[in-house]
Amino acid sequence: MRKYLLPVLPLLALGATTASAQNALPDTPLTLRAAYSMQNDSNLFRLPSGAALPAGKSSMAEQISLTTVGVNFATTQSLQRFELDASVVDNHYQNYDYLSFTATNYAAAWRWALTPRLTGNLTAARQETLNSFADFQGFNQRNKRTETANRLDALYELTGPWRLVAGLSQGESRNEQTVVATSDSDSTGADLGLRYVFSSGSTMDVGGRATSGNYRNLTVPNASLSDDSFKQTDAFVKLHWNFSGVTVLDATLSQANRSHPNYSQRDYSGLNANAVLSWAISGKTRIRAEYARELAVYATANSNYTQTDRLALGGSWAISPKTLLSLSYTAAQIDYQGSPSGVGSQRRDQTTDTALTFSWEPVQRLNLAAALENQTRSASLPNLGYDAVVTSVSARYSF
C-alpha cells in the first residue's frame, strides 16, 4: 500500500520527531534496535465490496507481523560525518503466508567536506517492499519490489550569498513479477543549479536536471507500444523560506518533459509542484499542510502517466514529555492521462487516508505505539473502489 501511505508518512514523522527530541538518547556513535509490530488489515487486496476472494479464502482480512532488528551508526571526524541505518525486517502474513518475506534495507551517507566552502553528500539506499495491491492484483503470487538509489552531490560557496550546487544520481527498480504500468528500470541523472542564501537563512534554488533510463525485459517493436528507454529533463525552482523561528515554507515548481526514442506516443510533459507549510504553534503542538501535483509514469494500453493532485493536513500534540498524539488526513485526485492509441482511459480516482497515532515512552529507549487508519478509493471505472481499515500496535527498544 506504499503508493497511498507515502503521503501520510511525513505527517506521522512530524510527531515522531517531536517525541524523539524530547526524549533524546545521549549522543553515541552506535545504537542497536529491535522492534515488533502487529497490523490488522480489513482489506489486504484492496478489493471492492462483494468482489470474489482468492480461491479457498473466506475473508479479505489479514494479520501481518513485522519483526525488525537494526543498527544506527553516526560519527563525525574532523570535517567528515558518516551515517548508517541498516535493518532486517521479517514480514509474516498469517492467512496468506506466500506473501511473507524478509527485507534487507539500508541508508548510508558520507557528509563530506574538502574545505569549509566545498561540501557535499555521498548516499546509498536500498528498500524492499511489496507492490501495492491497489495496482497489482496478482492475488496468488508475491510481487516484492526492490529499489536502490545512489547519489553524489556538492555545494560550493562562490561569493557572498551565492552557492553552486550539483549532483549525480543512479537508481534501479526491480519487481518479482511483471508490473505493466511501472516496469523494471535503471536510470542515471545529473543536476546543476544556483542557490541564493538570504540573511534570514532562507534559500532559493534555480536549476535543471537531465535523466536517462532503460526499461528492462522489454523488446521493441511490440504490440503494446512500450518503449525500452526514455529521457527526461526538468527545470526547477526551489524555495526554503523562514517566516519566523516557528514557521517554515518549502516549495518546489518544476517543468518535466519526458521523451521516448521509438514510441513518441508515450511522450508527455507538465508541471510538478509541491508546497509544505510547517508551523510549531508551541513547544508541544505542531501542524503541517501540504499541496502537491505530481506526474508519474503509468504506461498501460490506455494511459501514459498519472497526474496526482494531493492535499494533506496533519498535526501532533505532545500531551506530556513521554506521550504524543498525531493526526493526519490526505485527499488525492488521480487522473490517468495520455494514451499511445489516442483513446484515453477516462479513469479518475479519488482517495482519502486518515490516520491517528498515539505513542508512549514509559522509560528511556522504549517506545510503544498504537495506530488506526482508514483508506478509501472511489473510481470513475467499475470495480476499482475499496475501503480498508488498518490497526496496529508496536514496540521498539534501542540500546
In CATH, what class is 2-398? mainly beta
Q: What pTM, to 2 d.p., does this model score?
A: 0.88
Each residue's pLDDT tens digit in the chain (399 positions)?
A: 344 333 333 333 333 333 333 333 345 689 999 999 999 999 999 999 888 877 777 888 999 999 999 999 999 999 999 999 999 999 999 999 999 999 999 999 999 999 999 999 999 999 999 988 887 776 778 999 999 999 999 999 999 999 999 999 999 999 998 877 778 999 999 999 999 999 999 999 999 999 999 998 888 999 999 999 999 999 999 999 999 889 999 999 999 999 999 999 999 999 999 999 999 999 999 999 999 999 999 999 899 999 999 999 999 999 999 999 999 999 999 999 999 988 888 899 999 999 999 999 999 999 999 999 999 999 999 999 999 999 999 999 999
Which value, to the nearest 10 degrees, does the dihedral of the CA atoms of residues 95, 99, 101, 104 take? -130
Rounded CA separation 320/239 (Å):
34
Rounded CA separation 42/62 (Å):
7
Q: Which long-range contacts (CB under 8 A, 24 or more apart) does 48-54 make?
A: 48/383, 48/384, 48/385, 48/386, 49/386, 49/387, 51/383, 54/96, 54/139, 54/140
C-alpha cell at 349: 480516482
Rg (C-alpha) for the chain, rounded Å, is 22
3-class SS of residue 15: helix
